[in-house]
A and B are shown apart, each in its own frame.
Chain A
Amino acid sequence: MAKIELQNIAHSYNPQAADKAYALNPFNMTWVDGGRYAILGPSGCGKTTMLNIMSGIVQPSEGKLLFNDVDVTKLSTSERNIAQVFQFPVIYGTMSVEQNLAFPLVCRNFEKAVIVAKVQEVAGALSLEGLLKKSASKLTADQKQLISLGRGLVRDDVAAVLMDEPLTVIDPDLKFRLRRQLKEINQKYRSTLIYVTHDQNEAMTFAENIIVMDAGSIVQVGSPSELFERPKTTFVGYFIGAPAMNFFECKLEGSHNVSFGGASIITETDLSKTGEATLKLGIRSEYIRIVETAGINTIKAQVQRVEDLGTHKLVSAIFDNQNVKIKVKRDQEVPLDSVSLEFPARHCCVYEKEQLI
Chain B
Amino acid sequence: MGLLYTCLKYLVVSLWSIFVIAPFLWAISTSFKDFQSVTNGATYIPWVDFEPTLEGWRALWKSPAKGGVDIVEPFFNSIFVTCAGSLISILLGTLAAYALSRFTFKAGFIRNSDITFFFISQRIMPPVVLAIPFFIMLGKFALLDTLLGLIVVYIVLLMPIAVWIMVDFFNKVPREIDETALIDGCNPYQAFYKVVLPNSIPGIIVAGMFCLIFGWTDFFFSFILTFTEVQLLPVAIVALNSSITPWWSLSAAALVSVAPLIAVAFVVERYLSKGNLSGALK
Contact = CB atoms under 8 A, between A and B. Distances in A.
Interface in A103-120: 103-104, 107-108
A80 to B, nearest CB: 8
B282 interface: yes
Given A93-B280, A93-B281, A78 B176 contact: no
B156 interface: no
Interface string B157-180: 000000000000000001011011
Contacts of B187: 76, 78
Interface in A142-156: 144, 148, 151
Interface string A57-94: 10000000000000000001110001110101110111
Contacts of B186: 78, 107
A41 B182 CA distance: 27
Given A88-B176, A88-B282, A90-B176, A76 B182 contact: yes
A75 B207 CA distance: 36
A92 B199 contact: yes
Given A90-B174, A107-B190, A82 B183 contact: yes
A77 B176 contact: no
Contacts of B229: none
Contacts of A104: 183-185
A56 B190 CA distance: 17
Interface in A17-68: 55-57
A78 B280 contact: no
Nearest to A144: B282
Contacts of B176: 86, 88, 90
A137 interface: yes
Interface residues of A, number: 24
B109 to A, nearest CB: 16
A136 B280 CA distance: 11
Question: Could you say which of B180, B181, B201 has the most chain A C-beta atoms within 10 Å of its C-beta?
Answer: B180
Contacts of A76: 182, 187
A76 to B, nearest CB: 7
Contacts of A92: 177, 181, 195, 198-199
Chain B binding surface, main DSSP class: helix
Nearest to A52: B179
Contact of B182 (A78, A86, A151): A78
A84 B176 CA distance: 10
Interface string B70-90: 000000000000000000000
Interface string B192-213: 0011001101000000000000
A238 B194 CA distance: 47
Interface centre among A83, A86, A92 (most CB of B within 10 A): A92
A86 B183 CA distance: 11
A137 B275 CA distance: 12
Given A86-B180, A88-B176, A93 B199 contact: yes
A339 B263 CA distance: 83
B199 A94 contact: yes
A355 to B, nearest CB: 37
A154 to B, nearest CB: 9
Contact of B183 (A77, A88, A137, A144): A77
A84 B185 contact: no
Nearest to A151: B184
Contacts of A90: 174, 176-177, 180
Contact of A83 (B181, B183, B199, B201): B183
8 closest A-B pairs by CB: A107-B185, A104-B184, A94-B198, A77-B182, A90-B180, A108-B185, A90-B176, A84-B183
25 contacts: A55-B179, A55-B183, A57-B182, A76-B187, A78-B182, A78-B183, A78-B184, A82-B183, A84-B179, A84-B183, A89-B282, A90-B176, A90-B180, A92-B177, A92-B195, A92-B198, A94-B198, A94-B199, A94-B201, A104-B184, A107-B185, A107-B194, A108-B185, A148-B180, A151-B184
Given A90-B177, A107-B185, 14 more contacts: A56-B182, A57-B182, A77-B182, A82-B183, A84-B183, A86-B180, A88-B282, A93-B281, A94-B198, A107-B190, A137-B280, A148-B180, A151-B180, A151-B184
